[in-house]
Amino acid sequence: MNIIKRSGIEEVFDITKIINAMTKANNEVPEVERLTAQEIRDAANAVAAQCEQMERAASVEEIQDLVEDQIMARGKYNVARKYITYRYTRALVRKSNTTDEQILSLIECNNEEVKQENSNKNPTVNSVQRDYMAGEVSKDITRRILLPKEIVDAHDEGIIHFHDADYFAQHMHNCDLVNLEDMLQNGTVISDTLLEKPHSFATACNISTQIIAQVASNQYGGQSISLTHLAPFVQISRESIRRSVVEEMRDFVGAVSVEAIDEITERRLRKEIAKGVQTIQYQVITLLTTNGQAPFITIFMYLGEARNEQEKHDLAIIIEEMLIQRYQGVKNESGVWITPAFPKLIYVLEEDNIHEDSKYYYLTKLAAKCTAKRMVPDYISEKKMLELKVDKNGNGNCYTCMGCRSFLTPYVDENGKPKYYGRFNQGVVTINLPDVALSSGGDIDKFWKIFDERLELCHRALMCRHNRLKGTLSDAAPILWQYGALARLKKGEPIDKLLYGGYSTISLGYAGLYECVKFMTGKSHTDPAATPFALSVMQYMNDACKKWKAEHNIDFSLYGTPLESTTYKFAKCLQKRFGIVEGINDKSYITNSYHIHVTEEIDAFSKLAFESKFQALSPGGAISYVEVPNMQNNLEAVLGVIRFIYDNIMYAELNTKSDYCQVCGYDGEIEIKKDEEGKLVWVCPNCGNTDQAKMNVARRTCGYIGTQYWNQGRTQEIKERVLHL
């Protein structure tokens, strides 16, 4: 059994440290008021037993709380006071410097919590360590200076989560929907170098990867681009290649037919498209941004964005090549084809590709094949999105999310036209819904009162995010604010006008709707008797966002938070605050957003149909998934799910497994098991390998695919997922 120290280092549980600490406090009171040696041992053993029952590494703070409880339970109140005083004195000493131990532990790769904080960051790499070091400094400044104490305390207690505090000290924001069209068509500037409109598809792809890397280095969230913005350069390359072919043919005796010239042109064009797509795929994977990771990039594939039939035809060629290369995967260091984490792909289902007799149905079949092997693309239903994303002109809109699930709200510019590319999200604060329920004790009136208080706390925290961005000059990130990714502001111009009126969004996140409803009603939110309450909770948060929007002219939006490491944090905080409540907080994770609990038996179609009701009430971001086995030999079933998505839900994905053991060459699902100390570890079922450095594991945890493993809470959640198909 292990414990997690304050520095984040995980070490073996040592009961003698508990006995020694209790003995020191015991010796400071009169003998008549002391615990006996046996009572101290019994108390220490009781604490050890409680830690064992957690089935995870307990923190030092949790253990000290348990020690206090054991002393008090034996009626030795003066001993308890001495122990509490000792804790307080030590806390004051630690507060004199809050970052040194954290930084030193992460440099030595001993900080288990930081190592597992982000499943796409390798904590042993220097660039990642430098980002983490800067992050620790930022968090320290944020906690001590930039945020009100009530928000810091609420964050520490797990009542809310103030996301990305490691970037808050800087004037940085969350997600972007990059205006690639503007940057390619009108030129951009990178590192003081003017990049003009490219003269070929291959060059456009190369410039795009440079834009992606620059954008990722100037914000901390996801970003999205559309392949539609690359499509016009296919025709430019076609015309250039055709001119070259015609010149070459002049040396031949006799006339060469137009058909032959066209055939040679298209053949060469296809090769250029393949090279361009390969540039995007490999550059994205191999580029490291300033925070030491590949850019969190999503690529949008939507035929309906094309402005004419020729452009749609060319866009289809790019989409086809993107799917072919993603199906193939990338080679790991052993030369084995594996599933990469990025770029994330989103494929739009529409009338032109959803039916067997649709012109582009072949692309949907290819997408299904790719999903079955590589977990992407994910799917947006144009049909459902047009119903849900209606602008002030009454028109439905279909567009991509910013990253894994963060959606902009509909926006019409001064010319009356919808605008999405070039917009962004200011940041996120998440409310812990199970904590609201448990704090109410099940009293419905008290629930709504506490809910109001917590929402107002989130409101204040979100305004801290907004106010931190106010006054930011465009010079802070020229690629974003001056050179087209988000805007074309002048040098020295504040970005403030982009923070109001709906141009950008700011997100109220939420987590644990299932646990909240289960505690208040005794039933899962899938139960017809409990569903109305679940929907009312969602509507209540939407109403709060609407109220704040009217007050500030800022586009607050409700967002289904993609908890990664925070799912573990929230679970631990709930256990600390309320003890173990069976069926509510007795696991090392809580449920993401509105999702059905991972252990609940339900078929894929029922799950998607049910969760579609909640996507409509989560306009700032939502995604649903179904967990499936290996479907590579059952593509008709995959296509069946895809067709169901088109008719029933806006945004969904299929989760399969894509793993590889470097020790024995096993190509299948790497399993999760408990080791002798009760810790969850990844194990090859073929050879028993448990060395994470010698296996490739890819799992979707919160919209993105992760490849660097997860903390114990998220690992337990992955282990307990049931299949829906």
Quick: pLDDT tens for 439-470: 999 999 999 999 999 999 999 999 999 999 99
Predicted local distance difference test score (pLDDT) of residue 108: 57
Give the CATH number for residue 182: 3.20.70.20
**Sign of torsion, CA 262 264 268 271?**
positive
Q: Which of 291, 406, 507, 593 is catalytic?
A: 406
182 belongs to a structural domain:
yes
Q: Which of 425, 432, 439, 507 is catalytic?
A: 425
564 labelled catalytic:
yes
Name the token pair of 66. 């348990």
Pairwise CA distance, residues 262 & 242, whole Å: 7
86 labelled catalytic:
no
Give the pairing of strands 423-432 and 505-511.
parallel
Pairwise CA distance, residues 434 & 272, whole Å: 53
Tell how many helices (H) and how many strands (E) occur in the chain.
Answer: 24, 24
**Number of alpha carbons in the 13 Å side-chain half-sphere of residue 641:** 30
* Total tally of structural domains belonging to the chain: 1
Residue whose entry in the numeric block shows the structure tokens 């966002």? 545
Q: Which of 320, 321, 564, 653 is catalytic?
A: 564
350 belongs to a structural domain:
yes
Pairwise CA distance, residues 656 & 627, whole Å: 6
Pairwise CA distance, residues 447 & 430, whole Å: 18
402 labelled catalytic:
yes
97 labelled catalytic:
no
Q: Which of 510, 559, 568, 651 is catalytic?
A: 559
Burial of 243 (0-12, 13-18, 19+ CB in 10 A): exposed
Residue whose entry in the numeric block shows the structure tokens 């440290």? 17
Q: Which of 22, 172, 401, 404 is catalytic?
A: 404
The candidate with the shortest Cα–Cα distance to 348, out of 306, 307, 394, 406, is 306
Question: What is the span of the domain harbouring residue 240?
Answer: 176-388
Q: Which of 135, 221, 703, 706 is catalytic?
A: 703
Pairwise CA distance, residues 399 & 305, whole Å: 9
Query: In this structure, which long-range contacts are made by residues 155-159, counting pairs with CB atoms below 8 Å and at least 24 apart in sequence?
Result: 157/573, 157/577, 158/432, 158/435, 158/569, 158/570, 158/572, 158/573, 158/574, 158/576, 158/577, 159/431, 159/432, 159/435, 159/454, 159/457, 159/573
Predicted local distance difference test score (pLDDT) of residue 57: 79
324 belongs to a structural domain:
yes
Amino acid at 683: V
The candidate with the shortest Cα–Cα distance to 518, out of 574, 457, 566, is 574
283 by DSSP, 3-state: which? helix
Mean pLDDT by runs of 10 across the 725 residues of the chain is: 72 90 91 92 93 81 89 90 77 56 57 53 67 80 92 97 93 96 98 96 97 93 96 98 90 78 96 97 78 82 97 98 96 87 95 97 98 96 98 96 93 94 98 98 98 98 97 97 98 98 98 98 98 98 98 98 89 94 95 96 98 97 95 95 98 91 91 89 95 90 77 89 94
Residue whose entry in the numeric block shows the structure tokens 């503007």? 182
Q: ∠ CA(37), CA(42), CA(46), 5° rounding?
A: 150
172 labelled catalytic:
no
The tens digit of pLDDT for each residue in 287-326 reads 766 566 678 899 999 999 999 999 999 999 999 999 999 9
Predicted local distance difference test score (pLDDT) of residue 564: 80
Cis peptide before 528 (omega within 30 of 0): no
Q: Return the DSSP state at 406.
A: B
For residue 408, the Cα-to-chain-centroid distance in whole angstroms is 16
110 labelled catalytic:
no
Q: Which of 54, 175, 205, 650 is catalytic?
A: 175
Q: Which of 119, 174, 353, 588 is catalytic?
A: 174
581 belongs to a structural domain:
no
Backbone torsion region of residue 169, taken as left when φ is above 0, otherwise alpha when ψ lies between -120 and 50, otherwise beta: alpha
CA distances to 422, 488, 572 from 477, rounded to whole Å, are 14, 12, 37
Burial of 252 (0-12, 13-18, 19+ CB in 10 A): exposed
* 230-242 burial: b if 16+ Cβ within 10 Å, else e: bbbbbebbbebbb
458 labelled catalytic:
no
Kindly report the pTM of this predicted structure: 0.86
294 belongs to a structural domain:
yes
10 belongs to a structural domain:
no
Predicted local distance difference test score (pLDDT) of residue 250: 80
387 labelled catalytic:
no
Which residues are 652's β-sheet partners? 379, 624
Contact between residue 3 and residue 63 where contact means Cβ atoms under 8 Å apart = yes
703 labelled catalytic:
yes
228 belongs to a structural domain:
yes
The tens digit of pLDDT for each residue in 34-54 reads 999 999 999 999 999 988 888
360 belongs to a structural domain:
yes
